[in-house]
Amino acid sequence: MSIQEVVPKGKKRIAGLGSALVDILIHESDSFLEATGAAKGGMELVGEDTIHAILSGTRSEKKIVPGGSACNTIIGVSCLGGQGRFVGKCGQDDFGDLFTNGLEKHQVEPILFQSMSPTGRVLSIITPDAQRTMLTYLGASSETFPHEITDDCFADSAIVHLEGYLLFNRELMTTALRAAKKAGAAISLDLASFTVVEQAKDFLMSIVQDYVDILIANEDEARVFTGFSDERSAISALSEKTEIAVLKVGQKGSYIADHGNIVRVEAIGSGKGRAIDTTGAGDLWASGFLYGLVNGFTVEACGQLASACGYEVCQVVGANIPEEGWKRIRLLIPE
């Protein structure tokens, strides 16, 4: 079986299920981050009051945009010219309107359930090394119920892309996996954060073996999941658990295992200057990779397109690549 045979033929839609969140981005010092008590580069669930308290102590300019891991990926798919659908839940408030309008602006089909709770948000603290640390208030996004995941959510989808943060809601994750399989879609899972993997490793192991076709991880996530720190051992271990495995290694590029055959893809843009912000880098990498898969690209072409998306998003604050960046990325799409 080849990489193209993982994705059902005749379908191009990529549906994402995840947390409907609004990103609040601030630039701050390492000492400011340290004072919050958050683990640098990780993700921590917090109350709404914690985010308010931290924001009250910063003078940094705030940037507020639609976010959430799977949402970022699906918006990226749409910007590449693909068919994107996002499934999630938001509140009936200004942030909910901002989120919905962001999807529609990027021509992503929204399937958004409504809640009386506030729309979820992520405070992303960006330190001078461009690393981002996330403090997440899930709000309405945590109230997506298993019974709301109907056949319509994933109908006509080639790939259903799930964010690792759903591992905190095991019943919802299990329902989504079963629904995706029933729809005949390939299942993609982005591990999302090493802290998520640490807290849900046993459950994660079981669902990867039983359901996941495409597994995407960075170095830290792969280390926690496989126990290996060196790249070759980590990608080999990942490849034993699923048909397509990805190990992202930042400026060094990525390793992609296609049914055990490992390909190294060099990073695009390496040496062209330091990143401004890594927010959304992994999410947009997945946009390019999944878009390539549904369009029948080679492993190398999928990886190169993914790398270009990851590079461009690191040159801006937040996870929204400007149109100039998308024009450069589209030049890499095979004729």
Q: Looking at the predicted structure, is the pLDDT value of residue 220 above 90? A: yes
Rounded to an integer, the average pLDDT of 27-34 is 95
Q: How confident is the model at residue 65 (pLDDT cuts 50, 70, 90)?
A: confident
- What is this structure's pTM? 0.90
Pairing between strand 186-190 and 214-218? parallel
Which residue's entry shows tokens 């490992």? 262
Rounded to an integer, the average pLDDT of 49-58 is 95
What pLDDT does residue 276 have? 83
What pLDDT does residue 273 have? 59
Q: Categorise residue 92: left if φ over 0, alpha if ψ from -120 to 50, beta otherwise.
A: beta
What pLDDT does residue 8 have? 82
Residue pair 134/45 in contact (Cβ under 8 Å)? The answer is no
Which residue's entry shows tokens 């959304």? 280
* Bridge partners (DSSP) listed for residue 126: 27, 132
The dihedral formed by the CA atoms of 194, 197, 199 and 200, expressed in degrees to the nearest 10: 170
Residue 127 backbone dihedrals phi, psi, to 5 degrees: -90, 170
Q: Write down the mean pLDDT value for the chain.
A: 92
Pairing between strand 214-218 and 43-45? unpaired
pLDDT tens digits along 258-315: 998 999 999 886 556 577 878 789 999 999 999 999 999 999 999 999 999 999 999 9
| Separation of alpha carbons 189 and 100, rounded Å | 24
Burial per residue of 94-128, b for 16 or more beta-carbon CB atoms within 10 angstroms, e otherwise: ebbeebbebbeebebebbbbebebbbbbbbbbbbe
Domains in the chain, start-ordered, CATH in brackets? Answer: 3-20+68-119+139-330 (3.40.1190.20)
pLDDT tens digits along 190-216: 998 888 899 999 999 999 999 999 999
